[in-house]
Every structure is written in structure tokens, then in C-alpha cells.
Amino acid sequence: SKAKLFDQNTDVKTSFKDVAGLEGAKEEIQEIVDFLKTPEKYTALGGKIPKGALLVGPPGTGKTLLAKAVAGEAKVPFFSLSGSDFVEMFVGVGASRVRDLFKQAKEKSPSIIFIDEIDAIGRARGKSNFSGSNDERENTLNQLLTEMDGFGTNTNVIVIAATNRADVLDKALMRAGRFDRQIYVDLPDVRERKEIFEVHLRPIKKVAEELDIEFLAKQTPGFSGADIANVCNEAALIAARKGNKAVGKQDFLDAVDRIVGGLEKKNKIIT
Ligand code: ATP
């Protein structure tokens, strides 16, 4: 299959309603929605609109979802790519691909560029990494910095990047005028897990009436939003396999066990 540089979605349906919990992060990122919708209001007194925001937090906590919701709320095109794909698939052409991406985003502005796993490109320069040549990665990173610095004040393209390794990032990325806003996206607490369950129970055709969502939230400490989405889907499959008409408590508990098993395996490989 042909490697794709980036995805482009000009009709994003995701909104803040799809993002459960994360009240603080949503409040902070609302500012970016406003910048995209009414830039004139903000630049009236000579202020400059920020060019970038960095979402920092563990895997599966909704960083991509939140960035997409910004595009949906502001009704602007969403250009997205993953840093790791970038380094692995575009050896020798990373910098020119970055140029292409920014060119297209500018043509469609106001718009959002979302870079997932920015650490794959944005690791501190001069430190080795394991994928691809380091020169190549540095060229790509330099091009990204150049593009962000080159934005005029009224370009109205905002770059949102995500990472779970803010500590390894090149400090140059965080300088004023680049990713100078950082937003933390943490694992959900019990109340937030309940809200995430509610979101992901929506697509399930029939949930047993007596299902206690608070109980499920209490049974899933340490689960991310992605893990909870997974639990809901697994529970629906488990119930269907049994030929049940509704998804019930035991199906959810079995699904939780299965996900916990998967998480334990993953951790074993790492340590
Ligand atoms: P990664 O670091 O692995 O890229 P991420 O933080 O970008 O992860 P997402 O890709 O946004 O996480 O989350 C994966 C899926 O998990 C989402 O599409 C959604 O279904 C679910 N999810 C995660 N967080 C939330 C949340 N806060 N509310 C509702 N659903 C969530």
C-alpha cells in the first residue's frame, strides 16, 4: 500500500460533547477554537495569535479526540499525521513533506494541523533515536520549526501536537511563538471514567436496565478512555456471542478482565 503523508478531513463531526471528562483541558483549548473562529477579535489590540499547542499525557487519554473536537467546534479542516509514520516512511523526503503539509493547510486556512507522537520528530537534537537516520529526523524537525516561524501573524493555521514524552522534546519546540502552550491530558478519575462509559455506551443497541455505570467506573482504576471504549465494545461482542439480547454487568466484567489481561501482557513486554 502506498504510504500516505497526512490525512485531511474538511468536515469533522467530532465536538466537545464526544470528549468526556477533561474539563480543564477543554476549557484551555476552547481558546484555540475562539482564535480560529474570530481571529480579528483577538488581534484588535496588536496581540499575536499563538501558532501551536502541545497536548501532553499518557496514551489513549483523548489527545487526538480533543484536537479533532477543536476542528469540529471551529468548523475548520483538520490535517493530521503521526510523527512515527513520518520518520519511518519518508526517509529522505521528510522536510519536503512538511513543506507540502503546511502549504496545503495555509491554502485551506483557517485550519488545524495535528501531529501525533511529535516526540518521534521532535526529540532533542544531537540525541540518538532508534528509527531512521538522525540527520533525516533533524532536517524534518528543522523544517517544522522553520514553517512555524514563517507563519505570518494572520495565517490562522494552528498546530496542535501530542506526546506522552514531553521530557524528551527539543526545547526549541517550546520556545515562544511555537508550542508555547501546554495542555495536560491525564488519565481519568472515577467520575470521569463514568462519563467516558456513558459516551461509549451510546452506540450499544441495548444495555441491561439495571447496569450500574458507577460500579463499572470503580472497577476500572488506571484505565484510559481508549481502554474504556475497548471495554464497551468487547462487552457488546461477548453478549452477542452468548446470544443475549442486551449487554449486562457480567459481560462488562468479562470485558474488563480481558482488557486487564491485555494491559498486563503489554507491560510485561516493556519491563
Ligand atoms: P495516543 O497517545 O495513543 O495517540 P490519544 O491520547 O491521542 O492516544 P485518542 O486517540 O484520542 O487518545 O483516544 C482513543 C480513543 O479512546 C478515542 O477515539 C475515544 O474513542 C476513546 N477516548 C479516549 N479518551 C476519551 C475521552 N476523554 N472521552 C471519550 N472517549 C475517549
Give residue-wise pLDDT tens across range 101-133. Answer: 999 999 999 999 999 999 988 887 665 555 555
Distance 114 CA to ligand 1 centre (A): 14
Mean of pLDDT values over 170-187: 90
pLDDT for residue 126: 63
Distance 70 CA to ligand 1 centre (A): 14
Distance CA 183, CA 254 (A): 34
> Is 10 marked as binding a ligand?
no
Q: Residue 79's beta-bridge partner residues?
A: 8, 113
Residue located nearest, by CA, to atom 22 of ligand 1: 225
Q: Is 140 annotated as a binding residue?
A: no
Q: What is the C-alpha separation between 98 and 147, in angstroms, rounded? A: 8
Ligand 1 nearest-atom number relative to CA 67: 11
Res 12 pLDDT > 90: yes
What is the 187 CA–ligand 1 centroid distance (Å)? 10
Displacement of CA 48 from its chain's centroid (Å): 25
Over range 149-155, report the average pLDDT: 75
CA distance 32 to 52: 9
Residue nearest atom 3 in ligand 1 by C-alpha distance: 59
**Which is the closest atom of ligand 1 to the Cα of 192?**
27
Distance 211 CA to ligand 1 centre (A): 24
Distance (Å, rounded) from C-alpha 110 to C-alpha 77? 8
pTM higher than 0.95: no
Structure-model confidence comparison of residues 267 and 262, the more confident one? 262
CA nearest to 187, candidates 155, 151, 224: 224
Whether residue 126 is annotated as binding a ligand: the answer is no
The residue to mutate among 23, 65, 187, 266, having the most atoms of ligand 1 within 8 angstroms of its beta carbon, is 65
Mutate to test the pocket of ligand 1, among 26, 27, 64 (most ligand atoms within 8 A of CB): 64
Report residues whose beta carbon is within 6 angstroms of any ligand 1 atom.
Answer: 19-22, 59-65, 116, 162, 164, 196, 199, 225-226, 229
Q: Would you say residue 49 has pLDDT above 90? A: no
Of all residues in the chain, what percent carry a pLDDT higher than 70? 89
Residue 38 annotated as binding site: no
Residue whose CA lies nearest to ligand 1 atom number 18: 65
User: 155: annotated binding-site residue?
Assistant: no
Per-residue pLDDT averaged across 35-49, rounded?
Answer: 90
Measure the CA angle with vertex 22, ends 20 and 24; round to 5°. 145
Q: How confident is the model at residue 89 (pLDDT cuts 50, 70, 90)?
A: low
**Alpha-carbon distances of 236 from 220, 250, 254, rounded to whole Å:** 17, 11, 11
Give pLDDT, residue 176: 84
57 is in an annotated binding site: yes
